[in-house]
Amino acid sequence: MRPTAARPRSTAPLTALVALTLAAGALTACGSGSGSDPNTLKVSFKQSTDNSIKVMDGFLADIKKQFEKKYPGKKVELVPIKAPDSEYYTKLQQMLRSPRTAPDLVYEDTFLINSDITSGYLKPLDPYLDKWPDWNQFIGTAKSAAQGEDGKTYGVPDGTDTRGLWFDKGIFKKAGLPANWQPKTWDDVLAAARTIKKKVPGVTPINVYTGKPAGEASTMQTFEMLLYGTTDSSTDPLYDKSSKKWIAGSQGFKDALQFVETVYKEKLGPDVSDALDPNIQTIVAGDLLPKGKLGIALDGSWLPQAWLKGSGHEWPQWSSELGLASMPTQHGQAPGKVSMSGGWTWAIPSKAGNSDLAFDFIKLMQTKANAEKWYIANSGIAVRKDVASDPSYATAQPGIKFFTDLVSSTHYRPAYPAYPKVSTAIQEAMEGVTTGDMSVDKAASGYDTALKDDTDNQVVNK
């Protein structure tokens, strides 16, 4: 998420980054394409919009050195795309359309991969995976996240993530709330936010991402964390697998919107203008939380990467100043807590010129040692069994065990080809109730209409 979502990145500076102009016109002028030089591997990835957060940059710089040493005469050209999530996906797809602009290796969010598979942008990796012994170390759920509807695998996952409630212990103490807080229902979460608003003026009680500017963070970190807590754990409230149709007209959908509306209508969240700032994720991780300005954050396992040494938002005290609680189900129904998991994958474009070299780069990134290094630096959750069972991983950073334990109650998005459009429709409904321009009923009705259009009427009413 990572991307899921949408995660900032940080550590050592990258020594040889190749600038990539984000304008669409510049993308078509990148030269003769990734295959023009058989000795140069082009690797494209999402670079944080916050210049001080360079986890991915540092990791890839290290792999680049290892690769060029292992394969004399070969060069790696790192091609960062510096953009917020929604812009990254757009720019990446623009690049994938032509052999002139397609890199040899790309970083794909699992929520988008099926859309790119259907568009013919990605190459199936099964011929490579069948000959790679390390593939047996990857957990099944992570493998399935990179599969197309044709059963073929189009990406190698580099970790997963979970989500929960971060809270400021100092603010909780001032508000008279417990240091070991664990809400049992949505009402408990809202009650804590209301108490903070009343007793600790000058801070934001709670942040839940909302609207289109935050992109998939709104859909996954907030809405789906709510929606998947409205049903029992065996039921998918967004997509009906038995009929292979998307679900419209559910009460759970309205209830999730109602929670979002309550947060912003009662002014428990950030000012609406700040909530709809495309940089809200950086604001939360880099300003509100480390400066004691936010009581509760519904957010992801990757946040600590923003506070590491050299990140620009260094906060060595975070593990003692913040508490962690699982997000409860709506009414406390079994299993009592809910989480969502996503993650990112490395994929080879169908128009890439150096596919074999690209997979060699993947294999080097995903050795046990390099994978463990990445999971720890990225505050990610291991998808390699040998890393997950390694004590040095489990104790590497505070919070890893908490978020890893949430995997037992987590859910995965129905990342079918229509999902990106469905996600956008959810964000539009959220934005409507956040600004007050729409009632919950009107926003839910608008979503149902958009859902029919976006899925060719593959909809079932609940």
More confident residue, 106 or 394: 106
Q: 3-17, 76-90, 327-341: which range is least confident on average?
A: 3-17
Among residues of the chain, what percentage have pLDDT more than 90? Answer: 72
Whether pLDDT at 297 is above 70: yes
For the chain, the residue count is 462
Q: Please report the pLDDT score of residue 53 as a whole number.
A: 63
Take residue 409 and report the two structure tokens written for it: 């109650």
Average pLDDT over residues 182-209: 98
What pLDDT is recorded for position 51? 61
pLDDT in the model for residue 444: 98
Across 296-309, average pLDDT? 92
Examine the pLDDT at 86 and tell me if it is beyond 90. no
CATH of domain 163-341: 3.40.190.10
Dump pLDDT digits (tens) for 357-383: 999 999 999 999 999 999 988 888 999
How many Å apart are CA 457 and CA 396, to the nearest integer? 48
Taking a C-beta distance cutoff of 8 angstroms, is the pair 165, 184 a contact? Answer: no
Cα 240 from chain centre:
23
One-letter identity of residue 66: Q
pLDDT tens-digit series, residues 25-79: 333 333 344 446 899 999 999 887 766 567 889 999 999 999 999 999 999 999 9
The proportion of the chain whose per-residue pLDDT surpasses 70, expressed as a percent, equals 91
**Burial label, 118 (beta-carbon count in 10 A; 0-12, 13-18, 19+):** middle
Domain 24-161+342-407 part of CATH 3.40.190.10: yes
In this structure, the strands spanning 163-168 and 294-300 are: antiparallel
Q: For residue 37, give both structure tokens.
A: 């030089």
What pLDDT score does 50 carry? 66
Residue 6 predicted with pLDDT over 60: no
Please state, in angstroms and rounded to a whole number, the distance separating the CA atoms of residues 126 and 176.
56
3-state secondary structure the chain: CCCCCCCCCCCCCCCCECCCCCCHHHHCCCCCCHHHCCCEEEEEEEECCCCCCCHHHHHHHHHHHHHHHHCCCCEEEEEEEECCHHHHHHHHHHHHCCCCCCCCEEEEEHHHHHHHHHCCCECCCHHHHCCCHHHHHECHHHHHCCECCCCCECCEECCECCEEEEEEHHHHHHHCCCCCCCCCCHHHHHHHHHHHHHHCCCCEEEECCCCCCCCHHHHHHHHHHHHCCCCCCCCCCCEECCCCEEEECCHHHHHHHHHHHHHHHCCCCCCHHHHCCCCHHHHHHHHHCCCCCEEEEEEECCHHHHHCCCCCCCCCCHHHHEEEECEECCCCCCCCEEEEECCEEEECECCCCCHHHHHHHHHHHCCHHHHHHHHHHCCCECCEHHHHCCHHHHCCCCCHHHHHHHHHHEEECCCCCCHHHHHHHHHHHHHHHHHCCCCHHHHHHHHHHHHHHHCCCCEEEC
What region does 335 belong to: left with phi over 0, alpha with psi -120 to 50, or beta? alpha
* pLDDT of res. 380: 85
The domain ranges of the chain are 24-161+342-407, 163-341
Closest listed residue to residue 363, CA positions, set 99, 94, 50, 41? 41
Distance between CA atoms of residues 33 and 399, nearest Å: 43
Task: Report the pLDDT value the prediction gives residue 52, as an integer from 0 to 100.
Answer: 58
Helix 55-70 / helix 368-377 crossing angle, nearest 10 deg: 160
Do strands 245-248 and 239-240 pair parallel, antiparallel, or not at all (unpaired)? antiparallel
> Residues 104-128: what's their mean pLDDT?
93
Question: Mean of the pLDDT values across residues 417-438?
Answer: 96
Buried b (16+ CB within 10 A) or exposed e, 150-166: eebbbbbbbbbbbbbbb
Distance of alpha carbon 292 from its chain centroid, rounded? Answer: 24
pLDDT value for 346? 97
How far apart CA 276 and CA 371 sit, in angstroms, is: 35
Q: How confident is the model at residue 13 (pLDDT cuts 50, 70, 90)?
A: very low
pLDDT tens profile 247-264:
999 999 999 999 999 999
In angstroms, the CA 161 to CA 339 distance is: 9
Candidates 50, 97, 28, 25; CA nearest to 312 is 50
Are domains 24-161+342-407 and 163-341 of this chain identical in fold? Answer: yes
CA distance 453 to 441: 19
- In this predicted structure, the answer to whether residue 132 has a pLDDT above a threshold of 90 is yes
pLDDT at 22 over 90: no
